[in-house]
């Protein structure tokens, strides 16, 4: 029986690398895999899943496939992998549950849980509510050796905890930190 998996972490935990590895493993066994991503993440080009190590592959942009359920029913993949799950809408998460429940295809979603203000992203909230399995992918704090659980945002080198929830960026704007280091830099919101 297929399930919806949500694997969350902070940045720099290897989530995109894991998607690329899983896709490779399925395809090496001559199994079909579909990789999906939301349109909003265009750091490395729209419709691309790219790891910080430089490995990449094309992905279907969920927003550009209004008949995704029908397309997947016809394609009959063995697994569906989704990158940047935090950027999904609630409706897109419900669509993923339909894929699992009606097509019996496992769906594995990777994404952030919380933003730099320690608020859940809408996609993360929906995934936490609807996923069959929720797993944490561990990462290490940028400043110390504790497990990172929060994201620290900087503007011009100064930590901030206000502004728009979504501003696409990498290590130049965001780093993963533990709670203590977050509190030391911006306080706890």
- Return the active site residues: 84
- What are the DSSP calls for 113-167, one per residue? SB-TTS-B-HHHHHHHHH-SEEEEPP-B-SSSSSBP-EEEEEETTEEE--S-S--
- Rounded CA-CA distance 36/82 in Å is 5
Give 34's strand partners: 80
Tally of CB atoms within 10 A around 102: 12
Is 79 in a helix, a strand, or coil?
strand
Calculated CA dihedral for residues 126, 128, 131, 137, nearest 10 degrees: 130
Which residue is it, tokens 């979504």?
166
Is 85 in a helix, a strand, or coil?
helix
HSE, side-chain direction, 13 A CA sphere, residue 160 = 13
Distance of CA 109 to the CA centre of its chain: 6
């Amino acid at each position: 029986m297929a399930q919806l998996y949500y694997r969350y972490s902070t940045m720099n935990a290897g989530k995109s690398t894991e998607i690329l590895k899983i896709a490779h493993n399925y395809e090496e066994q001559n199994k079909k895999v579909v990789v999906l991503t939301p349109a909003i993440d265009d750091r490395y080009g729209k419709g691309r899943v790219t790891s910080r190590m430089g490995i990449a592959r094309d992905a279907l942009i969920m927003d550009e496939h209004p008949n995704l359920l029908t397309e997947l029913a016809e394609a009959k993949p063995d697994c569906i992998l989704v990158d940047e799950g935090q950027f999904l809408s609630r409706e897109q998460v419900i669509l993923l549950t339909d894929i699992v429940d009606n097509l019996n295809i496992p769906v594995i979603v990777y994404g952030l849980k919380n933003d730099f203000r320690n608020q859940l992203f809408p996609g993360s909230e929906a995934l936490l509510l609807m996923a069959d399995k929720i797993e944490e992918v561990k990462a290490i704090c940028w400043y110390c050796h504790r497990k990172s659980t929060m994201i620290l945002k900087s503007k011009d080198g100064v930590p901030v905890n206000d502004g728009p929830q979504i501003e696409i960026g990498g290590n130049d704007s965001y780093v993963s930190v533990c709670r203590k280091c977050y509190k030391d830099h911006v306080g706890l919101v």
